[in-house]
Amino acid sequence: MTNDIPILKVEGLTVYQGSYLAVRDVSFELLPGTDTAIVGPNGAGKSTLVKAVLDLIPRSAGTIEILGRPISRLGHLRHTLGYMPQNFIFDRSFPISVSELVGLGWTKEGKRKNLFSKLWRQDREKSAAVTEALRRTDAYHLQHQAIGTLSGGQLKRVLLAYCLVMPRKLLVLDEAFAGVDVQGAADFYALLNELKREEGWTVLQVSHDIDMVNRHCDRVLCLNQSIVCTGKPEIALSPQNLLATYGPGFSRYQHQH
């Protein structure tokens, strides 16, 4: 795949939530290896946009292509997508360990024939992939821990390991740092950037942290139902564009570290 072929192509995307117009006529592309942030005020349609991009909610109009295919016809290529939701809601009493959760992200396409003769090999491959993913996300020491006992920051790393356990092309993060303190978010960004370089991921992330976006992302989409502006951080995050996106009263927080 050459660098001029987009990993993701969105054209004319419109999404209603009931009678409310949440996203209006949004178009953009993501090139391989880039890190794009979606910023905007609460209620701007950011989470709705990424959920529609992943075909998790219906859209009213528009087309979405991933790896050159319509999202509805991805087939086995759907496994090349990784998603970290804003709120990972689960029953904390459910008896599943960290390694078991990460293992749910592992699959082996094309090996359904002679299943029993291949089963032992697949189990070994899966175990090795889970171990490697947990080590690379600094979560190996949590492998036997129940997921209900994890802190917010630990759970984020485990979910990242879930995405890492199989090769991915596109990683979508919806407020991945919600509930994590400033230092924890900075550490997570550093890990994400390291893995992005090593894995060649294309990243699409929703974020409220303008300072972190300015430091780490290649491109920014300013969204308030429709795209207000788009471009490199130094352009899209100018005071004029932030005012147009957020309206008066917006205050940009600067981290002191």
CA 128, 129, 131, 135 dihedral sign is positive
CA angle 25, 56, 65 (to 5 degrees): 55
Q: How far is CA 206 from the centre of its chain?
A: 8
Q: What is the mean pLDDT of residues 115-119?
A: 51
Confirm whether 184 is domain-assigned.
Answer: yes
* pLDDT the model gives residue 120: 55
Confirm whether 76 is domain-assigned.
Answer: yes
CA-to-CA dists, residue 71 to 68, 75, 166, 201, angstroms: 9, 9, 19, 18
* pLDDT the model gives residue 94: 85
| Average pLDDT value for the chain | 88
Quick one: angle between helices 152-164 and 115-136, nearest 10?
A: 140
Strand partners, 21: 16
**Number of folded domains that form the chain:** 1
Confirm whether 3 is domain-assigned.
Answer: no
Cα 128 from Cα 121, distance rounded (Å): 11
pLDDT higher than threshold 80 for residue 195: yes
Query: Residue 83: which of 66, 69, 99 has the closest Cα?
Result: 66
pLDDT in tens, 8-26: 999 999 999 999 999 999 9
Confirm whether 2 is domain-assigned.
Answer: no
Cα 159 from Cα 88, distance rounded (Å): 9
Burial of 117 (0-12, 13-18, 19+ CB in 10 A): exposed
Confirm whether 1 is domain-assigned.
Answer: no
Helix (H) or strand (E) holding 233: helix 233-236
pLDDT band at 184 (very low <50, low <70, confident <90, very high): confident
Confirm whether 87 is domain-assigned.
Answer: yes
- Calculated CA dihedral for residues 10, 13, 16, 21, nearest 10 degrees: 120
Query: Residue 191: which of 136, 114, 244 has the closest Cα?
Result: 136
CATH number at residue 37: 3.40.50.300
* pLDDT the model gives residue 152: 83
Q: What is the mean pLDDT of residues 40-66?
A: 95
Domain residues for the domain of 167 are 8-246
User: Phi-psi category of 45—alpha, beta or left, where left has phi over 0 and alpha has psi -120 to 50?
Assistant: left
pLDDT higher than threshold 80 for residue 245: yes
pLDDT in tens, 126-174: 999 999 999 999 999 999 999 999 988 888 899 999 999 999 999 999 9
Confirm whether 192 is domain-assigned.
Answer: yes
Q: What is the mean pLDDT of residues 203-219?
A: 92
pLDDT band at 235 (very low <50, low <70, confident <90, very high): very high
Confirm whether 257 is domain-assigned.
Answer: no
* pLDDT the model gives residue 251: 64
pLDDT higher than threshold 70 for residue 114: no
- Please, are residues 178 and 87 in contact by the beta-carbon 8 Å criterion? yes
